[in-house]
Amino acid sequence: MTYPNVLVLDYLKSTGQATPELQMQAEQYIAQGYQRLLTFEVPGGGFSLFGDAPAQPMLTAYGLMEFSDMSQVHFVDPALIERTARWLMGQQQGDGSWAVEGLTIESGLENVMNTPLPVTAYTVWALAEAGFEDQLAVSRGLDYVRAHQQETDEPYVLALLASAFVAVNPQGSDAQALLTRLEAMKSVDGDRITWQGSVKSFMGGSDGMASIETTALVAQAMLRAGAYPETVSGALNYIVAHTDSFGAWHTTQATILSLKALLLAATQGGAGGQEATVRVLFNGEETEPVHITPANADVVHLVTFTDKARPGDNFLNLEVEGQRPLMYQVISEYYLPWELAPEEVAEEAMAIEVGYDRTELAVNDVVTARAWISLLQEGVARMVLVDLGIPPGFSVLSEDLDRLVEKGVIARYELAGRQVIIYLENLSSQEALQFEYRLRARYPIKAKTPRSTVYDYYTPQTRGLQPPQEMVVSG
Protein backbone atom coordinates (compact mmCIF):
# COMPACT_ATOMS: atom_id res chain seq x y z
CA MET A 1 0.00 0.00 0.00
CA THR A 2 1.84 3.09 -1.27
CA TYR A 3 -0.26 5.75 0.46
CA PRO A 4 0.39 4.58 4.06
CA ASN A 5 4.15 4.55 3.35
CA VAL A 6 3.88 8.14 2.11
CA LEU A 7 2.03 9.26 5.23
CA VAL A 8 4.40 7.57 7.66
CA LEU A 9 7.55 8.85 5.94
CA ASP A 10 6.11 12.37 5.88
CA TYR A 11 5.46 12.13 9.61
CA LEU A 12 8.90 10.75 10.42
CA LYS A 13 10.60 13.48 8.42
CA SER A 14 8.47 16.27 9.87
CA THR A 15 9.23 15.14 13.42
CA GLY A 16 12.94 14.51 12.81
CA GLN A 17 12.69 10.75 13.42
CA ALA A 18 13.54 9.46 9.94
CA THR A 19 16.76 7.46 10.24
CA PRO A 20 18.72 6.88 7.00
CA GLU A 21 17.76 3.20 7.04
CA LEU A 22 14.04 3.82 7.53
CA GLN A 23 13.97 6.61 4.98
CA MET A 24 15.76 4.54 2.35
CA GLN A 25 13.39 1.59 2.80
CA ALA A 26 10.27 3.75 2.75
CA GLU A 27 11.47 5.64 -0.33
CA GLN A 28 12.09 2.36 -2.12
CA TYR A 29 8.50 1.26 -1.46
CA ILE A 30 7.16 4.66 -2.50
CA ALA A 31 9.20 4.69 -5.72
CA GLN A 32 7.83 1.29 -6.70
CA GLY A 33 4.29 2.39 -5.86
CA TYR A 34 4.70 5.64 -7.81
CA GLN A 35 5.71 3.80 -10.97
CA ARG A 36 2.81 1.42 -10.58
CA LEU A 37 0.29 4.23 -10.04
CA LEU A 38 1.37 5.81 -13.32
CA THR A 39 0.07 2.75 -15.17
CA PHE A 40 -3.48 3.67 -14.12
CA GLU A 41 -3.49 7.00 -15.99
CA VAL A 42 -5.94 6.99 -18.87
CA PRO A 43 -4.74 8.30 -22.25
CA GLY A 44 -6.19 11.78 -22.58
CA GLY A 45 -6.21 12.46 -18.84
CA GLY A 46 -7.56 11.21 -15.54
CA PHE A 47 -7.30 7.84 -13.81
CA SER A 48 -9.36 4.67 -13.65
CA LEU A 49 -9.11 1.49 -11.62
CA PHE A 50 -7.02 -0.31 -14.26
CA GLY A 51 -5.99 2.48 -16.62
CA ASP A 52 -8.79 1.84 -19.11
CA ALA A 53 -11.07 4.54 -20.48
CA PRO A 54 -13.15 6.24 -19.33
CA ALA A 55 -11.34 8.03 -16.54
CA GLN A 56 -13.32 8.36 -13.28
CA PRO A 57 -13.54 11.78 -11.60
CA MET A 58 -13.56 10.71 -7.94
CA LEU A 59 -10.75 8.20 -8.45
CA THR A 60 -8.80 10.92 -10.29
CA ALA A 61 -9.39 13.29 -7.38
CA TYR A 62 -8.20 10.58 -5.00
CA GLY A 63 -5.09 10.10 -7.14
CA LEU A 64 -4.42 13.83 -7.18
CA MET A 65 -4.57 13.92 -3.38
CA GLU A 66 -2.20 10.95 -3.15
CA PHE A 67 0.29 12.45 -5.60
CA SER A 68 0.27 15.79 -3.78
CA ASP A 69 0.94 14.03 -0.46
CA MET A 70 3.63 11.91 -2.10
CA SER A 71 5.37 15.00 -3.46
CA GLN A 72 6.19 16.01 0.13
CA VAL A 73 8.55 13.03 0.51
CA HIS A 74 9.35 11.81 -3.01
CA PHE A 75 9.77 13.23 -6.49
CA VAL A 76 6.48 13.52 -8.35
CA ASP A 77 6.51 14.98 -11.84
CA PRO A 78 4.88 18.44 -11.47
CA ALA A 79 3.45 18.02 -14.96
CA LEU A 80 1.55 14.94 -13.72
CA ILE A 81 -0.10 16.91 -10.91
CA GLU A 82 -0.81 19.83 -13.25
CA ARG A 83 -2.46 17.77 -16.00
CA THR A 84 -4.43 15.70 -13.49
CA ALA A 85 -5.79 18.86 -11.87
CA ARG A 86 -6.52 20.42 -15.26
CA TRP A 87 -8.38 17.29 -16.37
CA LEU A 88 -10.49 17.42 -13.22
CA MET A 89 -11.26 21.10 -13.64
CA GLY A 90 -12.22 20.38 -17.24
CA GLN A 91 -14.95 18.02 -16.03
CA GLN A 92 -16.72 20.74 -14.04
CA GLN A 93 -20.28 21.41 -15.08
CA GLY A 94 -21.85 24.79 -15.80
CA ASP A 95 -23.34 25.13 -12.33
CA GLY A 96 -19.97 24.56 -10.63
CA SER A 97 -20.58 20.91 -9.74
CA TRP A 98 -19.03 17.67 -10.90
CA ALA A 99 -21.37 14.99 -12.28
CA VAL A 100 -22.37 12.07 -10.07
CA GLU A 101 -21.98 9.62 -12.95
CA GLY A 102 -18.76 7.69 -13.15
CA LEU A 103 -18.16 7.05 -9.48
CA THR A 104 -15.43 4.48 -8.97
CA ILE A 105 -17.60 2.09 -6.97
CA GLU A 106 -21.37 1.53 -6.93
CA SER A 107 -21.88 3.80 -3.96
CA GLY A 108 -24.77 4.76 -1.76
CA LEU A 109 -23.87 8.35 -2.63
CA GLU A 110 -25.09 7.75 -6.15
CA ASN A 111 -28.18 5.76 -5.28
CA VAL A 112 -29.42 7.44 -2.08
CA MET A 113 -28.67 11.07 -2.79
CA ASN A 114 -28.58 11.18 -6.60
CA THR A 115 -26.85 14.55 -6.34
CA PRO A 116 -23.41 15.89 -7.35
CA LEU A 117 -22.91 17.33 -3.85
CA PRO A 118 -20.45 14.76 -2.38
CA VAL A 119 -18.55 14.35 -5.67
CA THR A 120 -18.15 18.12 -5.93
CA ALA A 121 -16.96 18.47 -2.33
CA TYR A 122 -14.42 15.67 -2.71
CA THR A 123 -13.05 17.13 -5.96
CA VAL A 124 -12.74 20.62 -4.47
CA TRP A 125 -10.96 19.15 -1.45
CA ALA A 126 -8.47 17.30 -3.68
CA LEU A 127 -7.76 20.38 -5.81
CA ALA A 128 -7.21 22.52 -2.73
CA GLU A 129 -4.91 19.93 -1.13
CA ALA A 130 -2.85 19.90 -4.35
CA GLY A 131 -2.37 23.68 -4.24
CA PHE A 132 -5.07 24.82 -6.63
CA GLU A 133 -7.26 26.54 -4.03
CA ASP A 134 -7.06 29.87 -5.87
CA GLN A 135 -8.45 28.50 -9.12
CA LEU A 136 -11.85 29.62 -10.34
CA ALA A 137 -13.01 25.98 -10.48
CA VAL A 138 -12.49 25.66 -6.72
CA SER A 139 -14.42 28.80 -5.84
CA ARG A 140 -17.25 27.80 -8.20
CA GLY A 141 -17.31 24.34 -6.63
CA LEU A 142 -17.51 25.82 -3.15
CA ASP A 143 -20.35 28.08 -4.28
CA TYR A 144 -22.27 24.99 -5.40
CA VAL A 145 -21.59 23.20 -2.11
CA ARG A 146 -22.60 26.26 -0.13
CA ALA A 147 -25.88 26.57 -2.03
CA HIS A 148 -26.83 22.88 -1.64
CA GLN A 149 -25.38 21.87 1.74
CA GLN A 150 -28.79 21.83 3.44
CA GLU A 151 -29.94 19.03 1.14
CA THR A 152 -28.22 16.40 3.27
CA ASP A 153 -27.96 15.31 6.88
CA GLU A 154 -25.67 12.35 6.15
CA PRO A 155 -22.56 12.58 8.37
CA TYR A 156 -20.24 11.12 5.71
CA VAL A 157 -21.34 13.65 3.13
CA LEU A 158 -21.18 16.51 5.65
CA ALA A 159 -17.63 15.39 6.52
CA LEU A 160 -16.68 15.70 2.84
CA LEU A 161 -18.27 19.16 2.68
CA ALA A 162 -16.41 20.24 5.80
CA SER A 163 -13.13 18.87 4.41
CA ALA A 164 -13.54 20.97 1.27
CA PHE A 165 -14.16 24.22 3.18
CA VAL A 166 -11.44 23.50 5.76
CA ALA A 167 -8.89 22.86 2.99
CA VAL A 168 -9.51 26.36 1.61
CA ASN A 169 -10.23 28.35 4.78
CA PRO A 170 -10.23 26.38 8.06
CA GLN A 171 -11.38 29.36 10.11
CA GLY A 172 -14.07 30.46 7.68
CA SER A 173 -17.72 30.58 8.66
CA ASP A 174 -18.68 27.81 6.20
CA ALA A 175 -16.18 25.36 7.67
CA GLN A 176 -17.09 26.24 11.25
CA ALA A 177 -20.83 25.93 10.60
CA LEU A 178 -20.45 22.45 9.11
CA LEU A 179 -18.28 21.32 12.01
CA THR A 180 -20.94 22.61 14.40
CA ARG A 181 -23.54 20.48 12.59
CA LEU A 182 -21.28 17.44 12.85
CA GLU A 183 -20.61 18.10 16.53
CA ALA A 184 -24.35 17.91 17.18
CA MET A 185 -24.63 14.59 15.32
CA LYS A 186 -21.90 12.62 17.13
CA SER A 187 -22.61 9.33 18.88
CA VAL A 188 -20.97 8.96 22.30
CA ASP A 189 -20.11 5.63 23.92
CA GLY A 190 -18.00 6.18 27.01
CA ASP A 191 -14.76 7.78 25.87
CA ARG A 192 -15.39 6.97 22.20
CA ILE A 193 -17.11 9.19 19.67
CA THR A 194 -18.20 8.28 16.17
CA TRP A 195 -20.52 9.28 13.35
CA GLN A 196 -22.78 6.81 11.58
CA GLY A 197 -24.98 7.11 8.53
CA SER A 198 -26.95 5.15 5.98
CA VAL A 199 -24.89 5.74 2.83
CA LYS A 200 -21.78 3.96 1.64
CA SER A 201 -18.53 5.82 1.22
CA PHE A 202 -17.44 6.59 -2.32
CA MET A 203 -15.10 3.58 -2.14
CA GLY A 204 -18.04 1.34 -1.22
CA GLY A 205 -17.43 1.10 2.53
CA SER A 206 -20.60 0.46 4.54
CA ASP A 207 -21.66 -0.11 8.13
CA GLY A 208 -18.57 -0.35 10.36
CA MET A 209 -16.13 0.59 7.61
CA ALA A 210 -18.18 3.68 6.71
CA SER A 211 -18.25 4.72 10.38
CA ILE A 212 -14.46 4.49 10.62
CA GLU A 213 -14.01 6.51 7.42
CA THR A 214 -16.50 9.16 8.53
CA THR A 215 -15.04 9.46 12.01
CA ALA A 216 -11.53 9.84 10.60
CA LEU A 217 -12.71 12.50 8.15
CA VAL A 218 -14.43 14.52 10.87
CA ALA A 219 -11.40 14.21 13.17
CA GLN A 220 -9.11 15.54 10.44
CA ALA A 221 -11.37 18.48 9.67
CA MET A 222 -11.75 19.42 13.34
CA LEU A 223 -8.00 19.13 13.94
CA ARG A 224 -7.19 21.37 11.00
CA ALA A 225 -9.80 23.89 12.06
CA GLY A 226 -8.79 23.78 15.72
CA ALA A 227 -12.36 22.92 16.71
CA TYR A 228 -13.86 20.71 19.43
CA PRO A 229 -10.66 19.16 20.89
CA GLU A 230 -12.57 16.92 23.33
CA THR A 231 -14.64 15.52 20.48
CA VAL A 232 -11.46 14.89 18.49
CA SER A 233 -10.00 12.98 21.44
CA GLY A 234 -13.07 10.74 21.56
CA ALA A 235 -12.95 10.20 17.80
CA LEU A 236 -9.31 9.14 18.01
CA ASN A 237 -10.23 6.72 20.80
CA TYR A 238 -12.84 5.19 18.51
CA ILE A 239 -10.37 4.91 15.63
CA VAL A 240 -7.69 3.24 17.73
CA ALA A 241 -10.21 0.84 19.26
CA HIS A 242 -11.20 -0.43 15.81
CA THR A 243 -7.83 -1.48 14.45
CA ASP A 244 -7.50 -5.06 13.29
CA SER A 245 -4.88 -7.52 14.58
CA PHE A 246 -2.33 -6.14 12.09
CA GLY A 247 -2.68 -2.56 13.32
CA ALA A 248 -4.61 -1.45 10.23
CA TRP A 249 -8.31 -0.73 9.68
CA HIS A 250 -9.53 -3.63 7.53
CA THR A 251 -9.69 -1.73 4.21
CA THR A 252 -7.25 0.52 2.36
CA GLN A 253 -9.48 3.59 2.49
CA ALA A 254 -10.30 3.23 6.20
CA THR A 255 -6.60 2.73 6.96
CA ILE A 256 -5.49 5.79 4.98
CA LEU A 257 -8.07 8.11 6.53
CA SER A 258 -7.38 6.79 10.04
CA LEU A 259 -3.62 7.19 9.60
CA LYS A 260 -4.11 10.75 8.38
CA ALA A 261 -6.16 11.61 11.46
CA LEU A 262 -3.75 9.98 13.91
CA LEU A 263 -0.63 11.43 12.28
CA LEU A 264 -2.19 14.89 12.20
CA ALA A 265 -3.04 14.59 15.89
CA ALA A 266 0.48 13.38 16.71
CA THR A 267 2.20 16.23 14.88
CA GLN A 268 -0.03 18.76 16.64
CA GLY A 269 0.89 17.34 20.02
CA GLY A 270 -1.46 17.40 22.96
CA ALA A 271 0.26 15.91 25.99
CA GLY A 272 3.02 18.46 26.33
CA GLY A 273 6.06 17.26 28.22
CA GLN A 274 4.20 14.77 30.36
CA GLU A 275 5.74 11.35 30.90
CA ALA A 276 4.41 7.98 31.99
CA THR A 277 5.69 4.55 32.95
CA VAL A 278 3.77 1.44 31.91
CA ARG A 279 4.23 -1.93 33.60
CA VAL A 280 2.81 -4.95 31.80
CA LEU A 281 2.28 -8.23 33.67
CA PHE A 282 1.18 -11.52 32.12
CA ASN A 283 0.18 -14.19 34.63
CA GLY A 284 2.17 -12.25 37.22
CA GLU A 285 5.33 -12.08 35.13
CA GLU A 286 6.46 -8.51 34.49
CA THR A 287 8.45 -7.25 31.52
CA GLU A 288 10.88 -4.36 31.60
CA PRO A 289 8.84 -1.18 32.30
CA VAL A 290 8.07 0.99 29.28
CA HIS A 291 8.94 4.65 29.83
CA ILE A 292 6.93 7.04 27.68
CA THR A 293 8.53 10.43 27.07
CA PRO A 294 7.85 13.27 24.59
CA ALA A 295 10.63 11.82 22.42
CA ASN A 296 9.12 8.34 22.06
CA ALA A 297 5.42 8.84 22.74
CA ASP A 298 4.44 8.75 19.07
CA VAL A 299 5.88 5.34 18.22
CA VAL A 300 4.54 1.87 18.92
CA HIS A 301 6.00 0.08 21.93
CA LEU A 302 5.64 -3.68 21.47
CA VAL A 303 5.53 -6.00 24.48
CA THR A 304 5.32 -9.73 23.76
CA PHE A 305 4.86 -12.86 25.86
CA THR A 306 5.82 -15.56 23.38
CA ASP A 307 5.11 -19.11 24.60
CA LYS A 308 3.98 -17.78 27.99
CA ALA A 309 0.28 -18.64 27.65
CA ARG A 310 -1.05 -21.62 29.60
CA PRO A 311 -4.19 -23.76 29.28
CA GLY A 312 -7.22 -22.18 30.91
CA ASP A 313 -7.45 -18.60 32.08
CA ASN A 314 -4.60 -16.16 31.50
CA PHE A 315 -4.34 -12.72 33.10
CA LEU A 316 -2.94 -9.51 31.64
CA ASN A 317 -2.46 -6.43 33.79
CA LEU A 318 -1.38 -2.94 32.78
CA GLU A 319 -0.29 -0.45 35.41
CA VAL A 320 0.37 3.19 34.51
CA GLU A 321 2.19 5.82 36.52
CA GLY A 322 1.92 9.38 35.25
CA GLN A 323 -0.68 11.65 33.70
CA ARG A 324 0.03 11.23 30.01
CA PRO A 325 -3.01 9.85 28.12
CA LEU A 326 -2.17 6.55 26.43
CA MET A 327 -3.80 4.12 24.01
CA TYR A 328 -3.10 0.41 23.78
CA GLN A 329 -4.13 -2.71 21.92
CA VAL A 330 -4.02 -6.35 23.08
CA ILE A 331 -3.60 -9.07 20.44
CA SER A 332 -3.58 -12.83 20.99
CA GLU A 333 -2.65 -15.44 18.41
CA TYR A 334 -3.11 -19.20 18.44
CA TYR A 335 -3.39 -22.09 16.02
CA LEU A 336 -6.01 -24.80 15.65
CA PRO A 337 -6.55 -27.70 13.27
CA TRP A 338 -8.79 -26.42 10.48
CA GLU A 339 -11.67 -28.66 11.49
CA LEU A 340 -11.68 -27.05 14.95
CA ALA A 341 -11.39 -23.46 13.77
CA PRO A 342 -14.45 -21.30 14.52
CA GLU A 343 -16.57 -20.04 11.67
CA GLU A 344 -15.32 -16.64 10.49
CA VAL A 345 -18.60 -15.58 8.93
CA ALA A 346 -22.03 -16.38 10.28
CA GLU A 347 -23.61 -16.34 6.83
CA GLU A 348 -21.49 -16.32 3.72
CA ALA A 349 -22.35 -13.55 1.28
CA MET A 350 -20.08 -15.03 -1.39
CA ALA A 351 -18.97 -18.55 -2.21
CA ILE A 352 -15.76 -19.95 -3.65
CA GLU A 353 -14.82 -23.47 -4.68
CA VAL A 354 -11.41 -24.45 -6.00
CA GLY A 355 -10.93 -27.99 -7.26
CA TYR A 356 -7.92 -29.76 -8.74
CA ASP A 357 -8.09 -32.42 -11.45
CA ARG A 358 -5.83 -34.50 -9.20
CA THR A 359 -4.23 -34.16 -5.79
CA GLU A 360 -1.52 -36.81 -6.16
CA LEU A 361 1.19 -36.21 -8.75
CA ALA A 362 4.95 -36.21 -9.40
CA VAL A 363 7.56 -33.47 -9.61
CA ASN A 364 7.20 -31.40 -12.83
CA ASP A 365 3.64 -32.61 -13.37
CA VAL A 366 1.04 -29.97 -14.20
CA VAL A 367 -2.29 -29.83 -12.37
CA THR A 368 -5.36 -27.90 -13.53
CA ALA A 369 -7.28 -25.88 -10.96
CA ARG A 370 -10.89 -24.87 -11.53
CA ALA A 371 -12.30 -21.91 -9.59
CA TRP A 372 -16.01 -21.26 -9.17
CA ILE A 373 -17.10 -17.95 -7.60
CA SER A 374 -20.59 -16.64 -6.90
CA LEU A 375 -22.33 -13.75 -5.18
CA LEU A 376 -25.03 -15.11 -2.88
CA GLN A 377 -26.63 -11.77 -2.06
CA GLU A 378 -28.89 -10.17 -4.65
CA GLY A 379 -27.15 -7.48 -6.68
CA VAL A 380 -23.73 -6.71 -8.13
CA ALA A 381 -20.36 -6.52 -6.36
CA ARG A 382 -18.39 -3.88 -8.21
CA MET A 383 -14.88 -4.77 -7.03
CA VAL A 384 -14.11 -8.29 -5.83
CA LEU A 385 -10.82 -9.81 -4.76
CA VAL A 386 -10.17 -13.53 -5.02
CA ASP A 387 -7.27 -14.87 -2.98
CA LEU A 388 -6.32 -18.28 -4.39
CA GLY A 389 -3.96 -20.26 -2.19
CA ILE A 390 -0.95 -21.72 -4.01
CA PRO A 391 0.00 -25.20 -2.75
CA PRO A 392 3.49 -25.26 -1.21
CA GLY A 393 6.13 -26.22 -3.76
CA PHE A 394 3.97 -25.26 -6.78
CA SER A 395 4.34 -22.45 -9.32
CA VAL A 396 1.49 -20.89 -11.31
CA LEU A 397 1.60 -20.91 -15.12
CA SER A 398 0.96 -17.21 -15.57
CA GLU A 399 0.13 -17.51 -19.28
CA ASP A 400 -3.25 -18.95 -18.27
CA LEU A 401 -3.99 -15.87 -16.18
CA ASP A 402 -2.79 -13.59 -18.98
CA ARG A 403 -5.35 -15.18 -21.31
CA LEU A 404 -8.10 -14.66 -18.73
CA VAL A 405 -7.23 -10.94 -18.64
CA GLU A 406 -7.16 -10.73 -22.45
CA LYS A 407 -10.60 -12.35 -22.67
CA GLY A 408 -12.03 -10.04 -19.99
CA VAL A 409 -12.84 -12.90 -17.62
CA ILE A 410 -10.78 -11.23 -14.89
CA ALA A 411 -9.67 -7.59 -14.68
CA ARG A 412 -6.17 -8.05 -13.28
CA TYR A 413 -4.03 -10.46 -11.27
CA GLU A 414 -0.96 -10.44 -9.05
CA LEU A 415 1.32 -13.32 -8.08
CA ALA A 416 2.47 -13.31 -4.46
CA GLY A 417 4.50 -15.82 -2.52
CA ARG A 418 1.71 -18.23 -1.56
CA GLN A 419 -1.29 -16.77 -3.34
CA VAL A 420 -2.74 -15.55 -6.60
CA ILE A 421 -4.74 -12.34 -6.16
CA ILE A 422 -7.46 -11.98 -8.78
CA TYR A 423 -9.35 -8.71 -9.34
CA LEU A 424 -12.92 -8.98 -10.62
CA GLU A 425 -15.30 -6.24 -11.67
CA ASN A 426 -19.10 -6.35 -11.59
CA LEU A 427 -19.69 -9.83 -10.19
CA SER A 428 -23.44 -10.41 -10.52
CA SER A 429 -25.58 -12.65 -8.35
CA GLN A 430 -27.32 -13.74 -11.57
CA GLU A 431 -24.32 -15.65 -12.92
CA ALA A 432 -21.45 -17.49 -11.24
CA LEU A 433 -17.92 -17.01 -12.56
CA GLN A 434 -15.80 -20.01 -13.53
CA PHE A 435 -12.23 -20.16 -14.83
CA GLU A 436 -9.23 -22.50 -14.96
CA TYR A 437 -5.52 -22.08 -14.39
CA ARG A 438 -2.61 -24.51 -14.16
CA LEU A 439 0.16 -25.09 -11.62
CA ARG A 440 3.40 -27.04 -11.86
CA ALA A 441 4.73 -29.21 -9.01
CA ARG A 442 8.34 -28.29 -8.32
CA TYR A 443 9.27 -30.30 -5.22
CA PRO A 444 8.21 -33.54 -3.55
CA ILE A 445 5.91 -32.61 -0.70
CA LYS A 446 2.85 -33.61 1.26
CA ALA A 447 1.07 -30.52 2.53
CA LYS A 448 -2.20 -28.63 2.61
CA THR A 449 -2.89 -25.66 0.39
CA PRO A 450 -3.57 -22.27 1.97
CA ARG A 451 -7.27 -21.50 2.16
CA SER A 452 -8.89 -19.62 -0.71
CA THR A 453 -11.12 -16.62 -0.09
CA VAL A 454 -13.33 -14.23 -2.06
CA TYR A 455 -14.48 -10.88 -0.70
CA ASP A 456 -15.76 -7.46 -1.64
CA TYR A 457 -12.68 -5.26 -1.52
CA TYR A 458 -14.27 -2.35 0.31
CA THR A 459 -16.59 -4.35 2.57
CA PRO A 460 -14.44 -7.36 3.51
CA GLN A 461 -17.17 -8.81 5.72
CA THR A 462 -18.93 -9.70 2.45
CA ARG A 463 -16.93 -12.83 1.80
CA GLY A 464 -16.68 -16.57 1.39
CA LEU A 465 -13.89 -19.07 1.92
CA GLN A 466 -12.80 -22.61 1.16
CA PRO A 467 -10.78 -24.77 3.59
CA PRO A 468 -7.29 -26.01 2.70
CA GLN A 469 -6.89 -29.15 0.57
CA GLU A 470 -4.13 -31.75 0.80
CA MET A 471 -1.68 -32.20 -2.09
CA VAL A 472 0.88 -35.04 -2.41
CA VAL A 473 3.83 -34.75 -4.79
CA SER A 474 6.20 -37.70 -5.18
CA GLY A 475 9.86 -37.39 -6.16
Domain with 371 in it: what CATH number?
A: 2.60.40.690
Within the chain, what is the greatest distance between any pair of CA atoms? 75
- Is residue 32 included in any domain, yes or no? yes
Output b/e per residue, 258-285; b: 16+ Cβ within 10 A.
bbbbbbbbbeeeebeeebbebebebeee
- Is residue 341 included in any domain, yes or no? no
Please check whether residues 287 and 185 belong to one and the same domain.
no
pLDDT the model gives residue 20: 57
Collapsed DSSP state (helix, strand, coil) of residue 64: helix
Question: Is the peptide bond preceding residue 294 cis, with omega within 30 degrees of 0?
Answer: no
Picking from 241, 268, 295, the residue at the C-terminal end of a domain is 268
Please check whether residues 258 and 352 belong to one and the same domain.
no
CA 358, CA 199: separation in Å to the nearest integer?
46
Picking from 240, 268, 296, the residue at the C-terminal end of a domain is 268
pLDDT the model gives residue 378: 86
Please check whether residues 281 and 244 belong to one and the same domain.
no
DSSP per position, 240-279: HHT--TTSS-SSHHHHHHHHHHHHHHHHH--STT--EEEE
pLDDT the model gives residue 74: 77
Left if phi > 0, otherwise alpha if psi is -120 to 50, otherwise beta: which for 247?
left
Instruction: Give the CATH number, domain containing residue 54.
Output: 1.50.10.20
Please check whether residues 45 and 132 belong to one and the same domain.
yes
Indicate the helix (H) or strand (E) that contains 398. helix 398-406
- Is residue 328 included in any domain, yes or no? no
CA 383, CA 56: separation in Å to the nearest integer?
15
Do residues 388 and 354 touch, judged by C-beta distance below 8 A?
Answer: yes
Please check whether residues 292 and 390 belong to one and the same domain.
no
Residues with Cβ within 8 Å of residue 459, at least 6 apart in sequence = 204, 205, 206, 207, 209, 251
pLDDT the model gives residue 226: 93
- Is residue 338 included in any domain, yes or no? no
> If we measure between CA atoms, which residue out of 113, 6, 106, 112 comes closest to residue 58?
106
Please check whether residues 67 and 151 belong to one and the same domain.
yes
CA 383, CA 281: separation in Å to the nearest integer?
44
- Is residue 335 included in any domain, yes or no? no
CA 461, CA 323: separation in Å to the nearest integer?
38
pLDDT the model gives residue 346: 44
The sign of the CA dihedral 452, 456, 458, 459 is negative
pLDDT the model gives residue 248: 77
- Is residue 373 included in any domain, yes or no? yes
Q: Which stretches of the chain score pLDDT less than 70? A: 1-30, 101-114, 245, 269-273, 297-300, 342-347, 458
Please check whether residues 299 and 251 belong to one and the same domain.
no
pLDDT the model gives residue 173: 96
Neighbours of 52 (CB within 10 A): 11
Please check whether residues 161 and 219 belong to one and the same domain.
yes
Please check whether residues 230 and 209 belong to one and the same domain.
yes
- Is residue 331 included in any domain, yes or no? no
- Is residue 343 included in any domain, yes or no? no
Do residues 291 and 339 touch, judged by C-beta distance below 8 A?
Answer: no
Burial of 241 (0-12, 13-18, 19+ CB in 10 A): middle
Question: What's this model's pTM, rounded to 2 decimal places?
Answer: 0.73
Q: How many domains does the chain have?
A: 3
Picking from 242, 268, 294, the residue at the C-terminal end of a domain is 268
pLDDT the model gives residue 409: 95
SS (H, E, C) 435-472: EEEEEEECCCEEEECCCEEEEECCEEEEEEEECCCEEE
CA 128, CA 10: separation in Å to the nearest integer?
19
Please check whether residues 113 and 130 belong to one and the same domain.
yes
Please check whether residues 134 and 49 belong to one and the same domain.
yes
Q: Strands 366-375 and 433-441, how do they pair?
A: antiparallel
Q: State the residue range of the domain holding 317.
A: 276-322
Please check whether residues 311 and 374 belong to one and the same domain.
no
pLDDT the model gives residue 433: 95
